[in-house]
Amino acid sequence: MVSYIPTAEDFQALDSAREGDRIDRPSLSYWQDVWRRLRSNRRALASLSIVVGLLLFTLMGPLLWRVDPALQDLEQVSQPPSLGRYALVVADNTPAPTVTHTAISSAAVDREQAARNLRLLGTPHSEGVNLAWDPLPGVDAYQLYRHEYPPRDADDLGLPMARLMPQEISYRDLLGLETRQYYYSIVGVYNGKEARAYTTLPVVVEQAILFSEAEYRGLLSGDATPETAVGSSIRLESHPLGTDYLGRDMLARLMWGARTSLFIGICAPLIFVIIGLAYGGLAGYSGGRLDGAMMRFADFVIALPFLLFMILFKIAFGLGPGESGIGPMLLALVLLSWPATARLVRGQVLQIREEAYIAAARMMGATAPYLVLRHILPNVMGVLLVSLTFAIPTAIFTEAFLSFIGMGVVPPTPSWGSMCNDGIRTMLSHPHELMFPALFISVTVLAFNLLGDGLRDAMDARMRSGT
């Protein structure tokens, strides 16, 4: 049997540019690929623009809305959003109208008798409501009440405003007057006990502003004098998001508060997540004794009493009076928060380290830095981003919690957390003071969450093959 023995001529070199082996599309680097996929995610893009918008709001806002966040407007305390209300200009230092004391009739003391002729003196406005009434025989005092709703009986007369001597038959109410309807009631007090009989007067209070205050705030024309201006109606500054408990503009405070909250909310997590990543990565990757020692140290830091060390750090880093305390808070947050991330990353790395592709890469001679950068880091990214996007609201809340127990940023520096905290006290009566800062926190958190989601999807190496 003769078999054919091939010779060199039987072989022919193939054309080097074969169809099948050509790379059809442009080669993309990892980050190019991330960006490409992020761009195609509409939700992530929307949240990215919200984040950019928030940064603009924080950095550019105060340049456009030039209202001093510290300017107090005691005429408009806790006002809901409005675009400029009108106010009556009233003179400064108006003496309270005096009431001539008519002789008290010597009629028998009738305890069931209600005071007569409870009346207003002058226009009731937010700079003062003047009341007067006819004297009651035999009283040892009068008790004046103010209600926001029509009283139902003698046990329901509202706020006890003042107890007045029998010779005082007029009263000037200056206490936190709002532009609304009030019901004033007067009750006679006999032998230290209030009578059941009462007289009620409904009063509608008008917005007013003192001449000097209007002048100081530049709300009057240049040549206005008390004589010409008093009695006229002027327009007050507009507060598109209302005012807070000291009449400060909420919009301006939210803009300045964003600086505090976003600074702490973004910087602190970013720093401690990076520290946690490096620490946890190193521990998980190296394993063995080093891992054990490093994790014990992390356990130690985690178990430190946060609050106590927060105070300690604040003092150690020399929080001087008048400083807002943002720096020390940031530092304390970073120093105390990284171990959680470190533990998370280590857990992931421990798992990834055992994956077949790592073993394969190692067998092919991959160096440690290559393994970490190319395989481990991208695979950790998913969990890491989730923890980062959650660390942001946590940091914002930690700041808020610290304000809640009286250890937050020092007033008057605003922050969303401390504004929320102030707002919760007036949640029922002035909901806007809680709603707006809470809304800003929510939107920020939402944006970072969705962005984190998008980034996770885009950066996940395992998803790189798909779209």
Partner 1 sequence: MRSFLSVFAALGLSASPPLLAVTPAVDPVNNEISISLEQEPQWLTTIKATDAESSIVLDHITEGLITRDVDNNLIGGVAERWELTDDKATFWLRKNARWSDGEPVTAHDFVFAWQQVANPQNAAEYAFLMRLFPNGAEIIAGEMPPETLGVEAIDDHTLVAHLVTPTAYFIDLVTFISFRPVREDFYRAQQGRYAADAVNMLSNGPFILTEWVHGASMRMEKNPYYWNRDAIPLDAINAPYITEDPNARFNLFMDDKTAIADNLQISAMKMAMQEHQKLKSFSDGTVYYLGFNYREGRSTANLNLRRAIQSVFDAAEMTYKVIGVPGNLPAYTLFPRWLKGDDGQSLQAQYPPRKPDLSVERGREYLAMAKQELGVEEIPPLTILLSDQPQTAKQAEYFQNVMARNLGLEIRLDKQIFKQRLAKMSAGDYDLVMAGWGPDYNDAMTFADLFTSWNANNRGRYSNPEYDALITEALQITDQRRRNQIFARIQDIIFDDVVIIPQYERGFIYAQDKRIDGVRRYHTGGDLNFNYTFIIDEDGSRGVPD
Partner 2 sequence: MGAYIARRLLSGVITIWFIATATFFGMHAVPGDPLLNDKAVTPEIRANLERAYGLDKPVPQQYLIFLKNMLQGDFGISFTQQNRRVNDIIAEHFPVSATLGVLALLFAAGGGIMFGALTALFRSRMPDYLIMFLVIIAVSVPSFVFAGLGQLAILRLNSLLGFSLLPVAGWGTVAHMLVPALVLGLGTMAYLTRLMRSSMLEVAETDYIRTARAKGLTPRRIFFRHQLRNAILPVVTVLGPAIAAITTGGFVVELVFAIPGLGRYFVQAVQQLDYTVIMGTTVFYGAFLVLMVIAVDIVYGFIDPRIQVSKSLS
Q: Does 254 bind partner 1 (CB under 8 A)?
A: no
Query: What CA dihedral angle connects 35, 41, 47 and 53, to 10 degrees?
Result: 60
CA distance 406 to 239: 28
Which residue type does 93 have? N
Q: Does 344 bind partner 2 (CB under 8 A)?
A: yes
Window 336 to 365, contacts with partner 1 (CB under 8 A)? none
Which one of 256-264, 328-336, 367-375, 424-432 is the stretch in contact with partner 2 (CB under 8 A)?
424-432
Q: Give the CB-side neighbour count of residue 213, counting CA atoms within 13 A.
A: 21
Q: Which does 207 bind (CB under 5 to 8 A by kind): partner 1, partner 2, none?
A: none
CB of 299 to partner 2, least distance (A): 5
DSSP strand E in 156-276: where? 159-164, 170-173, 181-190, 193-194, 199-204, 208-210, 233-235
CB of 87 to partner 2, least distance (A): 33
CB of 132 to partner 1, least distance (A): 19
Q: Quick count: other Cβ atoms within 10 Å of Cβ 73? A: 19
Which residue type does 62 have? P
Window 366 to 385, contacts with partner 2 (CB under 8 A)? 382-383
Asked, as a colleague might, if the bond just before 411 is cis with ω within 30 of 0, I would say no
Q: List beta partners, residue 278.
A: none
Q: Which of 38, 246, 275, 435 binds partner 1 (CB under 8 A)?
A: 246
Which residue type does 339 have? P
CA distance 151 to 132: 19
Q: Which of 96, 219, 397, 410 binds partner 2 (CB under 8 A)?
A: 397
Q: Does 161 bind partner 1 (CB under 8 A)?
A: yes
Three-state SS for 459? Answer: helix
Window 290 to 309, contacts with partner 2 (CB under 8 A)? 291-292, 296, 299-300, 302-305, 307-309
What six digits make up the tokens of 57?
């709001």
Judged by beta carbon, residue 209 or residue 420, the one nearer partner 2 is: 420
CB of 425 to partner 2, least distance (A): 9
Q: Which does 309 bind (CB under 5 to 8 A by kind): partner 2, partner 1, none?
A: partner 2
CA distance 394 to 392: 5
Q: Does 148 bind partner 1 (CB under 8 A)?
A: yes
CA distance 98 to 377: 81
Window 74 to 133, contacts with partner 1 (CB under 8 A)? 74, 77
User: Which residues are within 8 A (CB) of 438 and not within 5 positions of it... i.e. 6 or more apart?
Assistant: 420, 423
Q: Quick count: other Cβ atoms within 10 Å of Cβ 433? A: 25
Which residues in this chain contact partner 2 in the complex, by CB under 8 A? 287-288, 291-292, 296, 299-300, 302-305, 307-309, 311-312, 315-316, 340, 343-344, 347-348, 350-351, 354, 382-383, 386-387, 389-390, 393, 397, 400-401, 404-405, 417, 420-421, 424, 427-428, 434, 438, 441-442, 444-446, 449, 456, 460, 462-463
Which residues in this chain contact partner 1 in the complex, by CB under 8 A? 70-72, 74, 77, 146-149, 152, 155-156, 158-162, 174-176, 192, 216, 245-246, 311, 315, 321-323, 405-407, 410-412, 422, 425-430
